[in-house]
Structure formats: C-alpha cells, structure tokens
Structure 1
Amino acid sequence: MSAILVTGADLAPQALALLEGFEVVYAGKTPVESDLVALCRAHDPAAIIVRYGKVGAAVMDAAPSLKVISKHGSGTDTIDKAAAQQRGIEVVAAVGANAAAVAEQALALTLACAKSVVGLNERMHAGHWDKATHKSIELGGRTIGLLGLGAIGLRFARMADAMGMRVIGFDPYAKNLPAFVAPVDLETIWRESDVVSLHCPLTEDNRGMLNASTLAQCKRGVIVVNTARGGLIDEPSLLAAVRSGQVFAAGLDSFAVEPMAPGHAFQGEARIVLSPHIGGVTTDAYVNMGVGAATNLLAVLNRH
C-alpha cells in the first residue's frame, strides 16, 4: 500500500475518503525538517500533502517514490519548487479552495481598521463613551488597491465594489478582469489607494515589496491589509509608517516569521490589528482545501 504523508495532524474526512487505499501518515501540528525526513525514510510516500512546515530537497531525497507534493491551500512558497522540478516531482495547489474565507478575513480587517473596531471595543469595556471625539473612515467612494487578482483578490474586489469603493488592481498575470476592476501599474496603486490589500503569492521578486520607499509613495493615512504572505512586507518599515501616521492602520493575518515570536514589535501597537494566519481557516475551507489537495495529488498519481 502506497503512503501519503500529511505535514499536519489531520485531514478532512471528505479528503480521507478520496484517499482510501493509501496509508495516510501524519507528521503532527508543528513538523520540522528532521521529522519529515524520518517519516519519508520510514514510509517512502508517493505523495506529500503540505499543511505546515517546509518541504525542501532533504525531504524529497528521503522519499525515492515521491511523485507529487500537494499544497493544502493555494500558497506554495513553503515548497522548494526548483528542487522538486529537478527531481521530476510535480507541485500542485488547491487554488481557490479558501478564496471565500480569506477574502472575508481581508474585509473584516479592512473594516476593523477603518472603523477602529478593536480600539473602540476596548474603550467601551473600560467604561468610556467616545462618541463626541471619535470619527471613523467611510470606505464608500474611496479607492482600494489590490496586489494580486487571483481567486481571493477578485472575490475581495467584488465585496469592495459592493460597498461602493473604486477598485484598482495590479496583477501581470490576470486576464479577463471584471468591469469593476481597473488594471493599473504598481506606481498607481501606491499613489491612488486609500486601502492597499495584498493577495499575491510570495516570490523572490516581490519579497518586501511594501517597504519604506513604497509606503512613502502612498497617501498619508493609507490602510494596509495583508492576508497573503508576511514576507511581502518589510515589517520594521510598516511599523515606522504606522507610528508616523503615514499608515492610518494595518490589518495583518500573516507575518515574516510564524508563529509570531513573543515580544514582536507589532504587539501592543494600537493601530495594528492582528490575527494568527487564520484567514483560510474555516470549517468550509478546511474541507475544500483537503478535498482539493487530495483530488490534485490523485490526478498526478493516476498519470504515472
């Protein structure tokens, strides 16, 4: 019986039903490379489903029968794709499986920033009534700039359009965009956006794309939202921009290092709203991503 290694502690029952006939091996919630190498040596899996941790050359070399690495989600930056290609191993992703969940998280963070949801809640619980002194930001009529117009970016674009926002977007690979999304260059995103929201995969080309230079090109008081990958943002530059008022507020669901280390500079910063990379973590998305990952790896194995 061929084995499938899951770099996590579980998989949706609907996904497991598709993988009947395989031995499914779990690496646990926080697998490190040595764990994965040992499991690959012990079980020689035909496929790996990647949930947590990184899969690099050492893991691949420990599994001679490995044909496919399937991401439980859409972002494949934790998989060494060059190493996989050299070894003839296919890398596939469950693109769009968590689009609704992540787009909703982006909307939640945008609204939390614009409406000071977290700060006002804390003040109210402490017995304050700030009606006479507080003004929220109205998003209707404002411009939102989306970096990445894949399944998640376009879903969020629809939400922003429904709220009466002007939607502009940068994505060199996007085609057949809906009429309510105006494609623009990066300079226009920085210059014209009242809200900048990141929805692109992390590559070596765009690492740190939101940095001191690009933040300085933005409107003063811009809102920054990131539900994509933490590495897209230079974190010290964002912190400085929030503290100076160049950035009004930031809503972040992903970080350069995860889990976030205790004492991270973002902690305790009133105008940074934080969530622990759970944008894609809903009951529905868990099933969709598991089924997508299983379906994708079966399609590859069936060709071999």
Structure 2
Amino acid sequence: MSRASVLALIPLPRPAREAIEARYELCLAPDLNSDEAIGRFRESGVRAVVTNGSVGLTAAQMERLPKLEIICAFGAGHENIDSAAAGARGIVVTHAPGANDATVADHALGLMLALARGFTLLDPAVRRGEWNSARTERPTLNGGRLGLVGLGRIGAKIAVRAAAFDMHVSYLTRHPRADLPWQHYTDVEQLARDSDFLVLACPGGAATRHLVDARVLAALGPKGVLVNISRGSVVDTAALIAALEAGSIAGAGLDVFEAEPDLPAALLACRNTVLTPHIAGRSPAAIAAQTDMLLGSLAAHFEEGKAPFAVA
C-alpha cells in the first residue's frame, strides 16, 4: 500500500519531520510560500496538509488539492484555516489545544518582568561600565494591575502566574466566568485604562483585528505596558509605533507582529520594547506535545477515520 502524501507548508522541528517521514510521504518546501508549495506538489496526491494559525489554508488553496482529507494545525491556533470551506468539502481540521499553554504563559510573564525591571537596558549598561547611572528605581509586578484580553487556556495560566506576584487581575471576555475571582470587563478601552499591564491572550482573526488601536493605547497611558503573545493582527502597528515614539505608553513586549518576520524599521528603533521572534510557544516540552498530537491526528484519521483534536 502506498504511503499517504503529507504537505507541510511550514518549517517543522526535526523530530516532527522525521516522525512524519517514517510513516508518510512528506512533501516539504520550507523556502516556498504556500501557493508555490501547493503548485509544486499538487500532482503528488496530497491527502494531508500541515500548517499553522498564521499561515493557514484558504478555500482556493484547498480546491487545488482534490485529494485533501485532513488539515493539521501545528499548534493551537487555526484562525487562518478556512474551516467552513474545509467542512463543506468534507475535510477534517485539527489542532493541538493546550500543547504550549504553559510555555506561552511563562513567556508573557518574562516579557512583563523584562519591561518593568528594564533587563534589556540594564544588562548593556552594566557592560559599558555605567553602574551608577543605571541604578535608578524601576517598577515591578508586585501589586500591579494586570488586564488580560482573553481568558482561555493561556490567559488563565497567565492570570494564575500574575496572582503569584500579588497582581490585581482583571480580564475581558464576552461573558464573565462565575468560577473566577477576578474582575470582568466587556470594554477593552476601560480595561486598558484600569491596567498597568495590558496582556493580549485572545485569538486572532477578523473579529479581533486592530482591537488595540490608538484609542486603547491612549487609555493605557504613559505608565502602561502592552504585551502581545496572541497574534500580531490584534494590534494596530502604526498606532503602537506612534504611541511608543511619543511616550504615550511606557513600553511594549511583542512576540507576534502583523507582517512577521518583516518588522517596520520604526518599531525596531524603539528602545522601550522587548521583541522576540514568535517563540513564546516554543519549548522542548511544547514541541514534543505538538508533535505527538499532530502524529496522533494523522494516524487516527488514516487508520481509524476519525481524528482527535478536531476543530469544532
């Protein structure tokens, strides 16, 4: 029996790549964009696509793969996969919920601490011999006000970690959760106004595009810090750059960007930022969990006809 053909539209960690190659015919084109990769491998009878929430898969791209049966998001995000179009074609969509929640939450707290305590500025100052001039007081997390936009798995873990720093936690969701002790908001501008740290832990997609705009940043204010570990599309980049340059907010910690990996030069020039390369969800444990869930979905689909972790 011939092995199923699996097309990866994203770079895969070596363990994941080797595990797929051991069981399936892997079509991998890391240097091509999605359309080019599909064009190259469409004749190979692709039955599965591996992608992620950022790259996604469109309805038009699905139409070019007539034998496609399953789309696997490598990670929890799947906002740019057209799930409705997939469902209409009988294509299964899976993801890896919970695989990297703890890692992302840790990263968010790291960005908060780095910005509050000024780690990225203090380290080079010490190395330059600027000991005395660098020893100015810095804010800390203890007693600070955390506003979380989104309280799913990751948001909840961030809240628990923040509570351990004795922070005052508030959150924004459509509906309050009666099982939680934290204050609920429905207006993002008001949440920003009442926060020292505004942390974005919501899904990406059209519903949250530019949710954080000039108005919200103005509400956050000159002592406020923005942290984004969700999706770059949630923040209006031009408005953020303007706020950072003007000192309208104290700083920003960003792991995700609107046009990543191509970042605006003006953003790179802002010294009141900590920027990381969409790595919040990457740790050995998280990658191992995502790999196991991906392989489990593929195996269950091809061998049993029903994949776990299907998107509802």
TM over 0.5: yes
- Corresponding position of 1:201: 203
Contact 2:77 2:95 in 1 (8 A): yes
Structure having greater relative contact order (Cα 8 Å, sep ≥ 6): 1
Alignment of 1:176-215 (within 5 A): 177-179=179-181, 181-186=182-187, 187-215=189-217
- Corresponding position of 2:57: 55
Identify if the C-alpha distance between structure 1 residues 133 and 8 changes in structure 2 by more than 3 Å, giving closer, same or farther: closer
Among 7, 10, 23, the residue aligned to 1:8: 10
- Corresponding position of 1:79: 81
Contact 1:31 1:53 in 2 (8 A): no
Secondary structure at the counterpart of residue 270 of structure 2: coil
Q: Distance in 2 between matches of 1:226 and 1:277?
A: 10
- Corresponding position of 2:147: 145
Alignment of 1:149-188 (within 5 A): 149-172=151-174, 175=177, 177-179=179-181, 181-186=182-187, 187-188=189-190
> Between the two proteins, what is the percent identity of the paired residues?
31
- Corresponding position of 1:275: 276
Q: State the Cα distance separating 1:260 from its structure 2 match.
A: 2.2
**TM-score, structure 1 length as denominator?**
0.89
> Which 5+ residue runs of structure 1 have no aligned equivalent?
none
Q: State the Cα distance separating 1:265 from its structure 2 match.
A: 1.3
Q: Distance in 2 between matches of 1:35 and 1:105?
A: 34
> Which 5+ residue runs of structure 2 have no aligned equivalent?
307-312
Q: Residues 60-118 of structure 1: CA distance to partner in whole angstroms, max 9, x if unpaired?
A: 12222212211101111332334323323222211111111111111111001100111
Contact 2:75 2:100 in 1 (8 A): yes
**TM-score, structure 2 length as denominator?**
0.87
Alignment of 1:12-91 (within 5 A): 13=15, 17=19, 21-28=23-30, 30-51=31-52, 53-91=55-93
- Corresponding position of 2:95: 93
Contact 2:99 2:289 in 1 (8 A): yes
Q: State the Cα distance separating 1:288 from its structure 2 match.
A: 1.1
Contact 1:45 1:65 in 2 (8 A): yes
CA RMSD, Structure 1 to Structure 2 (Å): 2.4
Q: State the Cα distance separating 1:271 from its structure 2 match.
A: 0.2
Identify if the C-alpha distance between structure 1 residues 39 and 286 changes in structure 2 by more than 3 Å, giving closer, same or farther: farther
The aligned length equals 301
Task: Please state which structure has a larger fraction of its residues in helix.
Answer: 2
